Structure 1
């Protein structure tokens, strides 16, 4: 870690040398021999605007819709126009996440009132840190050495790190000196912030960025762990039934993920753009319409998937040698068909509340649903004696319960302003939405499929190996819920700093996040290696499975370091609008590096399960190197300038969209 003074000195934001390349963010870690990057690729929300324009044209004849849109316009006009530093999860909803694979997201969410408020708080903090605004609380002078040491190491204020802190010679005791000027209003904060940015007066410290990342990622970690606990509860319960059952639940859940859950998440990512665009344009009633449309689409697509699950036994029997394992896995899938409607509703519902800034709505639903999931597993499997089928029933019921809890939140607490009831209009205008949704689904599906391949390979080694694979997938997926939220926080913070033309501050955030990723990875490594004999015992009592899982956990522990770095590096790429680079790096590393190594070490060298995870570890190392190398040779000042160009072009398009919607309404009237 660089010292505070070295990373947050008084240099201006733009400090490139004529004819040369400025020092890059990772120049302290990698060599300077990499070539100059090409310009950033611009992303266009044209499809989203096309969908919104068509919906506005169809819905503008409704008086209620227009009154709501007019009220939305008036409400948006009364507040600040921009949300430069809003703490939103940049295209990834709370409670969503895939094991090992970072998800594809959009570049620029449309700010909502919640995000505008958070943006003002962030701008206010930076202004106070740079002494442009007075502090919230006047700090008394002191000669306490501990206080000076604390300020030097943990203070977020820039001036505390510009030079040595000497003991003060006086102590403020006069009440007059303790009075602090009142905090200015939002307009004044915006004016001072823009002035300070224009004059390169805004700097940050690694302490400020570390505090920001911790504040944002901590609730996300809790939320993601609660979301994944639904799967953990079933695996823990089934593991106590027997070896074959533990192997079957892994085969079933991985098959369900690759054929349903991951495609549903990928398709629903288009709502990150559509719902946010509808809300940001002032047509709140269209937020519910977009969510309805996606839900209907997902329900229709689930019909053939349900048929596949119902008749999956011969397919699974052809892929794994154990007929009993294939039969139990097919039974598990048949029961999970009952949870399909809830899966679609939850993915659409999460985007529906997120677009309104209600990021914690899903968290509250999970806080109630996750404990009930564990209770249902105990009741159905052991108390009622349903056995293996009971675990599947508990998962299916929870999948339907979570969206119902989300609906109750919207109905009783907040979010109903964007719901105008069910409408037949949701059955039209599907073409552009599908065109927007397919790329995200294909990319996530392609990245996630490698885990299904490894699961099927593990099944070739016997029931014990497949049962151990279930433990490893569960443990590594759980541990991934620490670096993945950190990556989301990093992506959001960097995107907003770049968008606010604070590229130097974004570099500080990036350095902090990379070091934080290394720390998280090392923590998981220590956890895996220290408790490698204990962790498998949580899932099963079978001695052979424990031995296999314990041996493979050593490799999985090493993988944790590269997994964390790759996740955060991909978050940085999302933050600068280059998530496509990370996606292609994942595809290359998984299919051309990881998969061949996994198959070679597992089958040719006879390493079996350990060999499968050794290939994944090398693949993640490759992803980390590629993404860090790209970040190293990236010119972040150019990225900030191009982000400003994109924002200006999108703002122009947004103004045209608003004018078109108003003109369409008046022509209809």
Structure 2
């Protein structure tokens, strides 16, 4: 959905009676889609009392969301823990190594992660809708097409990694830290190309509601990663380079294991037909959606990196950075729950739109948003209750503890917003609205949030609290816009748009290499 077409779609309230008849149960092709067809029939059956209808529909939707969101949360948490454990192993080598690993992880690696994950979201839109429409052979083509594009992007990122030292020095880092960080980043180059394959595979599997295998694979890989890190860093003595090479190797374990699952599993026989030359066709159109997805996600990722950067310019940067670091760490852990619901929302909405179930799509949006919001509200209240002690998990400093306590109301607000905003971003991906959301992010984050935060933090001398408050203002505005657009969307038209998108990109071709 582009910015000009949004108004054409914002005309029908949530759960308005649909003009598109619900599918019969004979149209379903899996137990999961039988549930989806059942959900559409329940929502359409006016002979059943409204409260009973909603109760039955909510229970069905809750089960579908739980089995999607829970494994997704595990996968994202383990990805986070793998990077964090690498940083911990590096930190035990010395302060310089800790600074280098932190800079490499939170700076350059996060940039690559956000870009690759964002570009991979195009697969989330197309595979999800194709799976719902039973155009199963297209999923493998979209997977390969995305992998080609992400690999090309990986080549560009490799150049950035190779010149990370002069880039970091240009950005103001000391030559000593920049030199050590560039060594760490050099070992992450293989990880770039693991990203290029992993994210399309991950979205390919999620679109089919196959999420548990990725969770099992990631969990097993985490133990291997920790053991190898200990051996390579401490016993063999490869230091920083060894730590980052092990992280890259661990990501390749995940990629290879997931690909073997796709090739060997009966669940993927109809969606993976082998390698095909069609992966190299239609790349410009596919790139547009991938680029919009990347911009949408990167604008969000960079937004919070800018928060830390601005805090470093305050008169007392150490206290500001320490307190913000603790708050963003807590927020980051909680955010993983929202990311799981983001993935679940994207899969559910795209599947239902592809299956021509507009009521189910709109109802899924309502349920997943409410569940995520309730969980976040509970966590936000817990954080407020523990505001005076939460910092002592990270530090014993009284000054930092007081600063964290002062920031906890904003931390709770951020957690509350994270219960809504990422879920609605997932809905946007499921519908193919990436371009529209990218425009919203530019306006709200960079047109309002950052300038407002800068004014409050520096001009009015509110410090880190002012910067964060202003930037949260941008997030609040963005969330309000997404809520309004999402819950006023004409889902019948979204079904039509999904069908047009799939018909436009549907391809028939013989595979180069069959299973």
Alignment TM class, shorter chain as reference: 0.7 to 0.9
For 1:331 and 1:341, the matched residues in 2 are separated by 18
Residue 481 of structure 1 aligns to a residue whose secondary structure is helix
Aligned to 2:17: none
Aligned: 1:444 with 2:284? no
What's 1:185 paired with? Answer: none
Q: Which residue of 1 aligns with 2:493?
A: 642
Compared with structure 1, are the counterparts of its residues 578 and 611 closer, same or farther at alpha carbon in structure 2 (3 Å cutoff)?
A: same
1:525 is displaced (CA, Å) by: 1.8
Q: For 1:630 and 1:221, how far apart are their aligned partners in 2? A: 26
Distance in 1, matches of 2:122 and 2:100, equals 33
TM-score (normalised: structure 2): 0.76
Question: 1:456 maps to what in 2?
Answer: 309
Q: Given the superposition, is the C-alpha separation of residues 657 and 385 from structure 1 closer, same or farther in structure 2, using an over 3 Å criterion?
A: closer
Partner of 1:555: 410
CA change 1:267–1:81 in 2 (3 A) is farther
Q: CA deviation at 1:205?
A: 5.7
Deviations 1:285-311 (A, max 9, x none): x75555445434433433342232232
Asked if residue 117 in structure 1 is aligned to residue 86 in structure 2, the reply is: no
Tell me the matched-pair count: 489
Contact 1:250–1:467 (8 Å) recurs in 2: no
Rounded Cα–Cα distance in structure 1 between residues aligned with 2:365 and 2:276:
45
Whether the aligned pair in 1 keeps the contact of 2:296 and 2:434 (CA below 8 Å) is: no
Offset from partner CA, 1:296-328 (integer Å, 9 cap, x none): 443343334223223222322332455544344
Q: CA deviation at 1:521?
A: 2.4
1:534-549 map, 5 Å: none
SS of aligned partner of 2:190: helix
Distance 2:320 2:80 in 1: 23
Structure 1 residues 267 and 473, CA, compared in 2 at 3 Å: closer, same or farther? same
Partner SS, residue 358 of structure 1? coil
For residues 125 and 492 of structure 1, the distance between their equivalents in structure 2, rounded to whole angstroms, comes to: 15
Match in the other structure for 2:249: 397
Is contact 2:368-2:423 (8 Å) kept? yes
How far apart, CA to CA, are the structure 2 residues paired with 1:339 and 1:401? 11
More helix by share: 2
TM-score by length of 1: 0.60
Partners in 2 of 1:545 and 1:333 — Cα distance?
Answer: 31
Match of 1:40 among 5, 9, 28: 9
Provide, for residues 152-183 of structure 1, a one-character-per-residue CA deviation record: whole Å limited to 9, x for no partner: xxxxxx76966xxxxxxxxxxxxxxxxxxxxx
Question: 2:458 and 2:413 mapped to 1: Cα distance?
Answer: 21
**Is the contact made by 1:209 and 1:512 (CA closer than 8 Å) also made in structure 2?**
yes
Contact 2:369 2:424 in 1 (8 A): yes
Q: List alignment gaps of at least 5 residues for structure 2.
A: 1-5, 12-23
Q: 1:552 to 1:253 in 2, by over 3 A?
A: farther
Match of 2:169 among 311, 317, 334: 317
Which digits, 9 at most, give the CA deviation of each residue in 1:498-544, with x for residues without a partner? 776664x7776555544434322222323434555665555567777
CA distance in 1, matches of 2:9, 2:407: 40
Find 2:201's aligned residue among 326, 343, 349: 349
1:144-163 superposed matches below 5 A: none
1:599 to 436, 454, 464: 454
Q: CA deviation at 1:479?
A: 0.8
Distance 1:588 1:468 in 2: 28
- The alpha carbon displacement at 1:398 in A equals 1.7
Kindly indicate whether the alpha-carbon contact (under 8 Å) linking 1:306 and 1:337 is maintained by their aligned counterparts in 2: yes
Task: State the Cα deviation string for residues 400-440 of structure 1 (Å, max 9, x = none).
Answer: 22112213323444446766666677566644433443322
